Structure 1
């Protein structure tokens, strides 16, 4: 698969993770008054460190010798839902802080929007390359 499409696939995986996080955070808010409810969050992990990914997207990687290992452009994005048992906000065992959850929702929305913009830019560049800049 072409590296351009791997980047788009990576961005799509990030969008999936952000969407899942929104669902989890919304569930936390919906259960803010449920006794004993423990908040959850989505942990997003990338296989490459961010500096390497940034350099890779900016410059690409060239295989200059047949014995060089092939590059893995487009990091795998994985996520998992984790429950927070470490804190308790109230005497009934609930640990949801609605103000904190709303701040996390806002942060997640910004993250999602930035990924949407990145996908849009990448698809525009693909369209421009296909039409040779005529459209």
Structure 2
């Protein structure tokens, strides 16, 4: 394809941002829920995603974990069980969540702008440079 893996990378970035937004919204909506623990979206396998390949590890013991046996998702959702901010066992920090939401919105818009730029370039080529 004309753009290589760029469109797929941007698609994965939009998917990540969407999941992150849903997770943050869920945390905010549960800010007063007793014993609710905040969740966070984290990257997985960043090196594999950036390089487009999976690395093999030399296993010197059968108890070693093989690198190829994992989920292909670029992110996962983890729950922070180690803290408690409120008297009811809840650990949602509303200020942190609102800051993360704003940051994620900026990230999402930047990815959309980049995607629009790619499609505008394609449109220019189709029109013959006009």
TM-score (norm 2): 0.75
Aligned residues: 111
Cα distance in 1 for residues equivalent to 2:121 and 2:113: 12
Deviation at 1:44, TM superposition (A): 2.7
User: Does the residue aligned with 1:15 lie in a helix, a strand or coil?
Assistant: helix
User: Which structure: greater helix fraction?
Assistant: 1
Two-structure CA RMSD over aligned residues (Å): 2.3
Deviation at 1:47, TM superposition (A): 2.7
Deviation at 1:130, TM superposition (A): 2.4
Note if contact 1:13-1:77 (Cα within 8 Å) is conserved in structure 2: no
1:30 equivalent in structure 2: 29
Unaligned runs of 5+ in 1: 54-70
* Correspondences of 1:1-135 after superposition (within 5 Å): 2=1, 4-45=3-44, 46-47=46-47, 72=52, 78-134=74-130
User: Does the residue aligned with 1:80 lie in a helix, a strand or coil?
Assistant: strand
Cα distance in 1 for residues equivalent to 2:89 and 2:27: 14
**CA 1:88–1:10 in structure 2 vs 1: closer, same or farther (change >3 Å)?**
same
TM-score (norm 1): 0.73
